[in-house]
Amino acid sequence: MSRVEAGDGTDVELPVLPVDEAPSLRPEDLLERYQRRIYAVIYRMTGVHAEVDDLCQETFLQMVRSLPRFRPGTNLDSWVYRIAMNVSVDHLRRQGKRKKLQEELRSQGASLMATGEALPEETARAVREALEGLPPEQKAVVVLRLYEGLSHEEIAEIVEAPVATVRWRFFSSLEKLETVLEPHVKSGERRS
Amino acid sequence: MNCTDVRPLLAAFGDGSLSESVRRSVELHLESCRSCQSLLDRQARLKDLLVSSLPLPQPGDVYFERQRARLLEASHAVPAPRGRAFRAWFAAGSLLAASVLLVLYGPTLVQKAERPGTDPLAPRLAAKAPVPAPPPLPGVDHPERKDPSKEPGKEVLNEPLKEKEPVKAPPGPAPAINPKSVTSADPAPPSPAVGTAAPRTGAPPGTAERTVRMTREAVEVALAETPTERVVALCVAAEAQLRELPVVMAKDPTLAAELAGAYRLLVAEGVAGVLGDKAEREEDLAPAREVAARRARDHETTLAALQGEASGALKDRLGLALEASRSLSGR
Instruction: Mark whether A88 and A168 lie in a shared domain.
Output: no
Instruction: Answer with the one of A68, A95, A122 that is the final residue of a domain.
Output: A95
Distance (Å, whole) CA A77 – CA B115: 65
Are A57 and B74 within 8 A, CB to CB? yes
Instruction: Mark whether A103 and A180 lie in a shared domain.
Output: yes
Q: Which among A54, A181, A185 has the least Cβ separation from residue B152?
A: A54
Q: Which domain holds residue A103?
A: 96-192
Q: Between β-strands A11-13 and A3-5, what pairing exists: parallel, antiparallel or unpaired?
A: antiparallel
State the pLDDT at residue A71.
74
Identify the three-state secondary structure at position B276: coil
Distance (Å, whole) CA A156 – CA B295: 45
Q: Is B54 exposed, middle or buried (0-12, 13-18, 19+ CB in 10 A)?
A: buried
Are B279 and A69 within 8 A, CB to CB? yes
* pTM of structure: 0.47
pLDDT averages per 10-residue partition of chain A, 192 residues: 42 46 73 90 84 88 83 82 91 68 52 48 84 90 92 90 89 90 72 52
State the pLDDT at residue B9.
85
Q: Which among A44, A64, A127 has the least Cβ separation from residue B75?
A: A64
Angle at alpha carbon of residue A82, lines to A132 and A14, rounded to 5°:
105
Q: Which residues are A4's β-sheet partners?
A: A12
Instruction: Mark whether A68 and A127 lie in a shared domain.
Output: no
Q: Which among A9, A64, A146 has the least Cβ separation from residue B50?
A: A146
Are A171 and B10 within 8 A, CB to CB? yes
Distance (Å, whole) CA B316 – CA B284: 34
State the pLDDT at residue A85.
93
If one counts every other C-beta atom within 10 angstroms of the C-beta of residue A125, the result is 16
Q: Which residues are A13's β-sheet partners?
A: A3
Instruction: Mark whether A134 and A86 lie in a shared domain.
Output: no
Alpha helices in A49-162 (DSSP H): 49-66, 76-95, 98-115, 120-132, 136-142, 152-159
Distance (Å, whole) CA A98 – CA A95: 8
Instruction: Mark whether A123 and A85 lie in a shared domain.
Output: no
What secondary structure does DSSP assign to B21-52, as a single string?
HHHHHHHHHHHH-HHHHHHHHHHHHHHHHHHH
pLDDT in tens, A60-103: 988 888 887 777 777 888 889 999 999 998 888 877 655 555 55
Instruction: Mark whether A13 and A42 lie in a shared domain.
Output: yes
Distance (Å, whole) CA B238 – CA B268: 11
Backbone angles phi, psi at A12, to 5 degrees: -120, 125
To the nearest whole angstrom, how far is the Cα of A177 from the nearest Cα of chain B?
8
> How many structural domains does chain A have?
2
Instruction: Answer with the one of A95, A121, A140 that is the final residue of a domain.
Output: A95
Distance (Å, whole) CA A32 – CA A9: 16
Question: Is-contact B274 B83, C-beta < 8 A?
Answer: no
Distance (Å, whole) CA B264 – CA B269: 8
Interface check A152 vs B, CB under 8 A: yes
Residues of B in contact with A147 (CB under 8 A): 51, 54
Instruction: Answer with the one of A30, A62, A95 that is the final residue of a domain.
Output: A95
- Cα radius of gyration rounded to whole Å, chain A: 18
**CATH code where residue A184 lies:** 1.10.10.10
What rounded mean pLDDT belongs to chain A? 76
Interface check A189 vs B, CB under 8 A: yes
Are B64 and A35 within 8 A, CB to CB? yes
State the pLDDT at residue A95.
74
State the pLDDT at residue B76.
77
The residue among B138, B131, B39, B151 whose CA lies nearest residue B89 is B131
Are B56 and A43 within 8 A, CB to CB? yes
Instruction: Mark whether A38 and A103 lie in a shared domain.
Output: no
pLDDT averages per 10-residue partition of chain B, 331 residues: 85 80 90 90 89 83 88 75 51 60 51 41 35 36 37 31 36 37 41 39 62 71 76 86 84 85 87 82 83 88 88 88 87 68
State the pLDDT at residue B132.
38
Instruction: Mark whether A166 and A78 lie in a shared domain.
Output: no
Instruction: Mark whether A131 and A74 lie in a shared domain.
Output: no
State the pLDDT at residue A59.
92
Interface check A8 vs B, CB under 8 A: yes
**A–B CB contacts, 8 A cutoff, strictly below:** 135
State the pLDDT at residue B95.
62
Distance (Å, whole) CA B285 – CA B294: 14
State the pLDDT at residue B230.
84
Pick from B7, B10, B36, B54 the residue to mutate for testing the A interface (most A CBs within 10 Å).
B54
